[in-house]
């Protein structure tokens, strides 16, 4: 019996995630959206691509959450997108109401599922979903670090004219202006990038990584990123469905790790069939630790606004 992944929100991120999942033949996909016809139309279009792609995957679209019953993973992308000039904080209250409603409906249909949260502001939305779901922390995971690290890796590969496959990078902390890219733990074929890129230039790449989402919004003017966010989400989906035990930077609920307690923050996590199977604690310099704590404080402020 094939695995089942439901995606809430059939906009660009959700529909593109469905595309990646189907093209990799990872699971049957259900697209859910409040707008009538949109998930059905996109699902049918994608299903009709499967004979060409030679992939045996069922893709269905619905407005009723009954279609999501017994999902192995539920990806939540629902929420209003960020518009030019809009801060992540502006999204907070509207998306909190949407998230609370979605999680309630999802959990009723799939009480054993693992939730991957993609909606922004990411860390606060993951916290809201965790509180609403009543699941253990291993089964509510935020997608941010995989995306932020991919952006950092892209810029490093371009800077050094090397294959993206040679580049590993780690970005910790909240998803936004206070994220913490870690050049010391970022490498090209095992060589630390601190030995390959001058400090001033490296700082520019770090800042570009922090501004990665805003840079795309500025270009698009009427939308935000979706290819890389959806691909990042599907890397997490694949690690869980295939029980890969893959270490990826994810937003996780910390209970004392890194000296942070009671909040979602981006840290290295081992993903497998149970969701987060281990939170990996790496040694940070005093400066890196201070940056991570500062990032946690900004998450804490957002959570305080919505009371989670």
**Residues assigned a catalytic role:** 175
Query: What is the C-alpha to C-alpha distance for residues 264 and 165, in angstroms, rounded to an integer?
Result: 29
Map the chain to HEC letters.
CCCEEEEECCCHHHHHHHHHHHHCCCCEEEEECCCCCHHHHHHHHHHCCHHHHCCCCCEEEECCHHHHCCCCEEEECCCCCCCCCCCHHHHHHHHHHHHHHHHHHHHHHCCCCEEEECCCCHHHHHHHHHHHHCCCHHHEEECCHHHHHHHHHHHHHHHHCCCHHHEECCEECCCCCCCEECHHHCEECCEEHHHCCCHHHHHHHHHHHHCHHHHHHHHHCCCCCCHHHHHHHHHHHHHHHCCCCEEEEEEEEEECHHHCEEEEEEEEEEEECCEEEEECCCCCCHHHHHHHHHHHHHHHHHHHHHCC
């Amino acid at each position: 019996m094939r695995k089942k992944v439901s995606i809430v929100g059939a906009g660009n991120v959700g529909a593109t995630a469905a595309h990646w999942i189907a093209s990799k033949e990872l699971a049957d996909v259900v697209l859910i959206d409040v707008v009538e016809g949109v998930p059905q139309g996109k699902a049918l279009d994608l299903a009709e691509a499967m004979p060409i792609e030679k992939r045996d995957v069922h893709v269905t679209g619905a407005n009723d959450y009954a279609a999501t019953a017994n999902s192995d993973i539920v990806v939540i992308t629902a929420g209003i997108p960020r518009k030019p000039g809009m801060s992540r904080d502006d999204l907070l209250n509207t998306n909190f109401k949407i998230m609370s409603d979605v999680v309630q409906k999802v959990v009723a249909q799939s009480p054993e599922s693992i939730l991957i949260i993609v909606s922004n502001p990411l860390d606060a939305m993951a916290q809201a979903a965790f509180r609403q779901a009543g699941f253990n922390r291993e089964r509510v995971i935020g997608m941010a670090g995989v995306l932020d690290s991919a952006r950092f890796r892209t810029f490093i590969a371009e800077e050094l004219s090397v294959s993206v496959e040679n580049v590993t990078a780690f970005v910790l902390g909240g998803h936004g202006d206070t994220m913490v890219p870690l050049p010391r733990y970022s490498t090209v074929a095992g060589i630390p990038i601190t030995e390959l890129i001058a400090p001033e230039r490296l700082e520019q790449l770090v800042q570009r990584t922090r501004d990665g989402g805003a840079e795309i919004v500025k270009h698009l003017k009427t939308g935000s990123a979706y290819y890389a966010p959806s691909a990042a989400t599907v890397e997490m989906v694949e690690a869980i469905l295939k029980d890969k035990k893959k270490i990826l930077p994810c937003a996780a609920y910390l209970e004392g790790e890194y000296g942070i307690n009671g909040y979602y923050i981006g840290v290295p996590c081992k993903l497998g069939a149970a969701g987060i199977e281990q939170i990996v604690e790496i040694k940070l310099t005093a400066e890196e630790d201070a940056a991570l704590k500062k990032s946690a404080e900004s998450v804490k402020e957002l959570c305080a606004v919505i009371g989670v």
